[in-house]
Amino acid sequence: MRAVRFFVSDGSMKRYFITGLLIWVPLGITLWVLDLLIGTLDQSLMVLPAEWQPEAWIGMRIRGLGVILTLLVILLTGVFATNFFGNKIIGLWERLLIRIPVVKTIYGGVKQVSDTLLSGSGHAFRKVLLVRYPHAQAWSLAFQTNVPDEVARALPDEHVAVFVPTTPSPVNGFYFYVKKSEVIELAVPVDRALKYIVSMGVVSGDPRGSQ
């Protein structure tokens, strides 16, 4: 009887282990985030009366029904807000909120940001730029935003507003103004630039290959 022995070098074991991690870590984090998101949205069912909740008439708890309810509420709210009477009521409600001292600051700021990011007419992250940051010999990816009229009038030359996100969390960063002549505009979509930033430059490729 011949004994068969397998010899695996330490280098091969390390390579196999890292390859396995590269497969399971993104999948595990994705499933964890989805589970957290679905669990959070399922809490929206608690706003329903006890006799209206699915468990009362189905007899069991079904995960994901809160997601459907949340999406339905958002959709119906959009339909309501786009008609004449709904728009008037929403406008009245917003005018009431901005009269409350503390609420005015919070709601007004959040609404301005959400209108810019989510509205089809908004101009959030209009272009991808290269700017010299954090010193004159370095270049960083940045997104062009809007220059307030007051700032534009105060500056002697034409400037652009840029947001330099941090890596790997692009929700944080630095916002400042740079001379338009001192930035380089890139022919790169915003979503691809965000991938570069989140992956710390690991994810890259020919732009023509992702069209």
- Cβ count within 10 A of residue 118: 9
Residue 76 lies in a domain: no
pLDDT of residue 1: 44
- Number of domains comprising the chain: 1
**pLDDT tens digits for range 37-59:** 888 877 777 777 777 777 767 76
Instruction: For 136-165, give the DSSP string.
Output: TT-EEEEEE----HHHHHHSSS-EEEEEEE
Identify whether the C-beta of residue 131 lies closer than 8 Å to the C-beta of residue 183: yes
pLDDT of residue 4: 46
Answer yes or no: pTM beyond 0.85: no
Residue 175 lies in a domain: yes
- CA-to-CA dists, residue 77 to 44, 47, 80, 83, 89, angstroms: 15, 16, 5, 10, 12
pLDDT of residue 192: 86
Identify whether the C-beta of residue 48 lies closer than 8 Å to the C-beta of residue 66: no
Residue 46 lies in a domain: no
183: domain CATH number? 2.30.30
Residue 60 lies in a domain: no
Domain coverage including residue 172: 127-202
Helices (H), the chain: 10-42, 54-58, 65-82, 84-97, 101-118, 149-154, 190-198
Rounded Cα distance between 22 and 31, Å, is: 15
